[in-house]
Amino acid sequence: MWVVVPVKRFVNAKTRLASLMSESERESLAQVMLNDVLLAISSSLLVSGVLIVSNEVRARYAVERLGGLFLEEEEAGLSASVEQAGKWLVKHGQRGMLIIPGDVPLVSSSEIDQIIKSHRGDKALTIASDAAKDGTNALCVSPIQLIKFSFGKASFSKHIASAEQLNLAPTVVSLSGLALDIDNPLDLQILLSFDNETETLAYLADSGIARKVLPRRNRSAGKVGIGAASRLI
């Protein structure tokens, strides 16, 4: 299974974190999160290849360093980028693809394997949501052009509805690493409650951002465990 990662330009990335992080810090955050996602993908036993769609040159370096491919984005927008990647994969003989965003730094290779294993049949849709069950944080489709992609607000319910309109029962998987995409200060607080060995967590600690993000009481008490973080999610 090929994995597609649509990536926005790092410049002006994650603007909802502007109260805590400078523009350059947010660019660095976007970079290290993408690095963590690409490492998980490249470590998966069931991934055939990875394809980034973007206009961000640093994303190109990141994916090519791991042996992946890069497509120059032709049209702005997440859904348009995914459509472009899908057309490229169909042209090169692929029947299915898995879409994962570049801002889920806790995703693991085992979660990626679980999605692919859960995806069965020549005509199927497998999906994982964000923690709020609003957005789509992983989407596996076969054939590639099975549905019209509707990334953005309420995309989880929209993609499920698209499958049901085709009389397909979508496979819904719940995965804690994939559920946490980083958009706002609360997301960072939840992320910092984990002790996973990721480039993102190392960056937040080394840069001093973690000290600004975590409430004082959490810093003095230490990090909470994964179970507690899951309850926050």
- Percent share of the chain, pLDDT over 90: 80
Q: Give the integer Cα–Cα distance in Å for 30 and 38.
A: 12
What pLDDT is stored for residue 231 in this prediction?
Answer: 34
| Whether pLDDT at 225 is above 70 | no
Q: Give the integer Cα–Cα distance in Å for 123 and 141.
A: 8
pLDDT one-digit tens code per residue, 123-152? 999 999 998 899 999 999 999 999 889 898
What pLDDT is stored for residue 60 in this prediction?
Answer: 96
Q: What are the sequence ranges of the domains in the chain? A: 2-179, 185-232
Strand partners, 180: none
pLDDT one-digit tens code per residue, 7-20? 999 997 899 999 89
What pLDDT is stored for residue 217 in this prediction?
Answer: 41
pLDDT band at 215 (very low <50, low <70, confident <90, very high): low
Q: Report how far apart, in Å, the C-alpha atoms of 213 and of each of 24, 67, 111, 224 are.
A: 17, 35, 27, 15
Residues 137/181, Cβ–Cβ less than 8 Å: yes
Q: At what angle do helices 23-43 and 57-65 cross, to 10 degrees?
A: 30
pLDDT one-digit tens code per residue, 44-90? 999 999 999 999 999 999 999 999 999 999 987 889 999 999 999 99
CATH number of 2-179: 3.90.550.10
* pLDDT-wise least confident of 2-11, 184-193, 221-230: 221-230
